[in-house]
């Protein structure tokens, strides 16, 4: 990937059209007009005057008209989640300041988006600017361009963004993309159900979760669940189950590249025990975890913060609270990152101008304007990617939890609903099979041993070192 990037040099993309030299020699030796009383002489005078005027105009245009002329540039921008009404005001502001730049924002459908991005990009029919997931670099490396040092030096990038973004977006000595947001897993709970169970405290560790879940779980006389304490343990009806397994994996000291380890087996056991006999705090008989939370049939769920918009839209009166994910007692408060990044196509003919626009977007005043526009259409905007804007959101009731754990996010390629039909989706399928195998009686370690073999093939396919 780095070898291809070495061919990309900034001086291939001049910022301005070359200026015409100011010293232009005038024509001084035109013959003086001779006034004689015949039509031929008058015709000669007229022709000479026209020639002189044309030359004079060309000289003036060369001296004054060529200075500072910039070429017209059209940029195509593929977005995913934001409607045009959200992004367009910032585009308009940039175009006012840069009248030679025209930006066409297109909200794309997530279905087959990644494949279209790669195929059309390589064919020269893709966008100049595009949105991609923080886990996608191994599968879009053919089309993504490195961030030029002239736009943002590495040292400035590292002062501006969170550690996980520095790790995710750097390959070799280059960064690939500028993030407008940070996001990841948070714990969402129903305060009314907590009060009904007589719980006044909030969970901060997995020990707290273990203590609270039995009190929050309600069953009928036959043992069927009426209300669950937490949605954990299955794969078929838990949104983001793979992300949650990844959370337990890293908190238990495991690694996605070593699923045949004791740490990984321990993480799967922790995940599964919430739906296993004899407790059965969650089961396949329950609705989808998001639906169950909306219907107040489950007290706690673990989701990326953007799912709160879904919940709020379906049940505006729900009394929900948001916290950082539970930590291992005495351990780190790590969580799983799940955010999107803006990149530039290596096949764009206007890479520098594309990067200039993205640099404009990530400036503090413009990120806050973007957030303001987002809040016109939903309860909150995307959590700021910039570290120096953290104080503006850390107390927010919805996304303050994201900011509180932003320095401890870790990325793993098992994120659900990126719709990549590639790295993430392929790994998730192996995790799903492992979870389902243990339901059928296979041991945790044996289930993950099989999954590990599948993951090795996926990592090889995308040239990911292990």
Contact assessment for residue 230 and residue 209, using Cβ atoms and an 8 Å cutoff: yes
**Residue 162 structure tokens:** 């969170």
Taking residues 258-279, report their average pLDDT.
96
Backbone angles phi, psi at 380, to 5 degrees: -155, 160
User: Is the pLDDT confidence value at 339 over 60?
Assistant: yes
User: Is the pLDDT confidence value at 112 over 60?
Assistant: yes
Res. 19 pLDDT band, cuts 50 70 90: very low
What pLDDT, on the 0 to 100 scale, is given for residue 4? 43
User: Is the pLDDT confidence value at 52 over 80?
Assistant: no
Does residue 55 or residue 22 have the better pLDDT? 55
Three-state SS across 141-193?
CCCECCCCCCCCCHHHHHHHECHHHHHHHEECCEECCEECECCEEEEEEEHHH
User: Is the pLDDT confidence value at 166 over 70?
Assistant: yes
User: Is the pLDDT confidence value at 66 over 70?
Assistant: no
Distance from C-alpha of 97 to C-alpha of 101, rounded to nearest angstrom: 9
User: Is the pLDDT confidence value at 332 over 60?
Assistant: yes
What pLDDT, on the 0 to 100 scale, is given for residue 238? 98
What pLDDT, on the 0 to 100 scale, is given for residue 333? 80
Instruction: Find where tokens 């799940």 sit.
Output: 338
Res. 329 pLDDT band, cuts 50 70 90: confident
Share of the chain above pLDDT 90, in %: 82
User: Is the pLDDT confidence value at 328 over 50?
Assistant: yes
Does residue 365 or residue 56 have the better pLDDT? 365
User: Is the pLDDT confidence value at 259 over 80?
Assistant: yes
What pLDDT, on the 0 to 100 scale, is given for residue 37? 37
Contact assessment for residue 190 and residue 216, using Cβ atoms and an 8 Å cutoff: no
What pLDDT, on the 0 to 100 scale, is given for residue 274? 97
User: Is the pLDDT confidence value at 62 over 60?
Assistant: no
User: Is the pLDDT confidence value at 15 over 70?
Assistant: no
- Report the greatest alpha carbon distance in the chain: 124
Domains of the chain: 22-65 (no CATH), 73-183+338-406 (3.40.190.10), 185-336+422-461 (3.40.190.10)
Contact assessment for residue 304 and residue 243, using Cβ atoms and an 8 Å cutoff: yes
What pLDDT, on the 0 to 100 scale, is given for residue 26? 33
User: Is the pLDDT confidence value at 338 over 70?
Assistant: yes
User: Is the pLDDT confidence value at 22 over 50?
Assistant: no
Q: What is the pLDDT of residues 303-323, one digit of tens each?
A: 999 999 999 999 999 999 999
**Residue 171 structure tokens:** 């390959």
Distance from C-alpha of 352 to C-alpha of 150, rounded to nearest angstrom: 9
Taking residues 343-367, report their average pLDDT.
97
Res. 337 pLDDT band, cuts 50 70 90: very high
What pLDDT, on the 0 to 100 scale, is given for residue 56? 61
User: Is the pLDDT confidence value at 32 over 70?
Assistant: no
Taking residues 176-180, report their average pLDDT.
98
pTM: 0.84
What's the whole-number average pLDDT of the chain? 88
Task: Choose among 36, 23, 128: nearest CA to 73.
Answer: 128
Contact assessment for residue 344 and residue 207, using Cβ atoms and an 8 Å cutoff: no
Distance from C-alpha of 115 to C-alpha of 124, rounded to nearest angstrom: 14
Q: What is the pLDDT of residues 410-466, one digit of tens each?
A: 999 999 999 999 999 999 999 999 999 999 999 999 999 999 999 999 999 999 875
DSSP assignment of 261-324 equals: SHHHHHHHHHHHHTTSTTT-SS-TTSPPHHHHHHTT-BSEEEEETTHHHHHHHH-TT--EEEEP
Distance from C-alpha of 250 to C-alpha of 334, rounded to nearest angstrom: 8
What pLDDT, on the 0 to 100 scale, is given for residue 55? 67
**Residue 275 structure tokens:** 């739906």
Instruction: Find where tokens 């389902």 sit.
Output: 436
Task: Choose among 25, 18, 21, 28: nearest CA to 63.
Answer: 21
SS3 category, 78:
strand
Taking residues 279-298, report their average pLDDT.
97
What pLDDT, on the 0 to 100 scale, is given for residue 1? 45
Taking residues 145-156, report their average pLDDT.
97
Torsion sign across C-alpha atoms 293, 296, 297, 302: positive
Instruction: Find where tokens 């939370």 sit.
Output: 293
Distance from C-alpha of 203 to C-alpha of 187, rounded to nearest angstrom: 9
């Amino acid at each position: 990937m780095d070898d291809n990037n070495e061919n990309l040099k900034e001086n291939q993309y001049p910022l301005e059209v070359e200026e015409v030299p100011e010293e232009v020699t005038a024509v001084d030796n035109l013959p003086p007009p001779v006034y004689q009383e015949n039509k031929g002489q008058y015709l000669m005078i007229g022709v000479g005057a026209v020639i002189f005027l044309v030359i004079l105009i060309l000289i003036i245009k060369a001296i004054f008209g060529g200075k500072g002329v910039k070429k017209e540039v059209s940029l195509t921008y593929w977005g995913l989640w934001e409607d045009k009404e959200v992004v367009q005001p910032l585009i308009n502001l940039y175009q006012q300041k840069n009248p030679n730049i025209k930006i066409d924002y297109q909200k794309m459908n997530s279905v087959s988006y990644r494949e279209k991005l790669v195929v059309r990009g390589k064919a020269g029919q893709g966008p100049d600017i595009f949105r991609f997931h923080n886990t996608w670099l191994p599968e879009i490396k053919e089309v993504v361009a490195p961030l030029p040092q002239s736009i943002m030096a590495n040292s400035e990038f590292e002062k501006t963004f969170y550690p996980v973004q520095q790790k995710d977006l750097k390959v070799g000595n280059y960064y690939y993309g500028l993030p407008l947001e940070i996001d990841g897993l948070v714990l969402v709970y129903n305060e009314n159900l907590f009060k009904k169970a007589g719980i006044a405290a909030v969970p901060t560790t997995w020990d707290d979760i273990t203590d609270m879940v039995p009190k929050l779980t309600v069953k009928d006389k036959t043992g069927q669940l009426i209300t669950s304490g937490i949605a954990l343990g299955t794969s078929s009806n838990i949104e983001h189950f793979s992300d949650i397994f990844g959370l337990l994996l890293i908190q238990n000291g495991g690694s996605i590249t070593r699923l045949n380890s004791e740490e990984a087996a321990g993480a799967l056991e922790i995940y599964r025990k919430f739906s296993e006999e004899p407790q059965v705090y969650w089961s396949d008989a329950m609705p989808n975890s998001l639906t169950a939370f909306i219907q107040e049939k489950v007290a706690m769920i673990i989701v990326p913060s953007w799912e709160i918009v879904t919940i709020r839209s379906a049940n505006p009166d729900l009394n929900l609270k948001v916290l950082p994910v539970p930590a291992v007692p005495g351990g780190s408060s790590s969580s799983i990152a799940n955010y999107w990044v803006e990149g530039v196509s290596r096949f764009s003919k206007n890479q520098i101008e594309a990067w200039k626009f993205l640099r404009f977007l990530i400036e503090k005043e413009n990120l806050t304007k973007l957030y303001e526009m987002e809040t016109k259409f939903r309860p909150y905007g995307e959590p700021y990617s910039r570290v120096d804007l953290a104080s503006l959101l850390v107390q927010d009731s919805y996304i303050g939890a994201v900011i509180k754990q932003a320095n401890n996010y870790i990325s793993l390629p098992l994120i659900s609903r990126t719709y990549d039909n590639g790295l993430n989706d392929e790994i998730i399928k192996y995790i799903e099979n492992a979870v389902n195998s243990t339901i059928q009686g296979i041991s945790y370690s044996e289930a993950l041993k099989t999954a590990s073999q599948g993951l090795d093939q996926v990592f090889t396919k995308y040239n990911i070192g292990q």
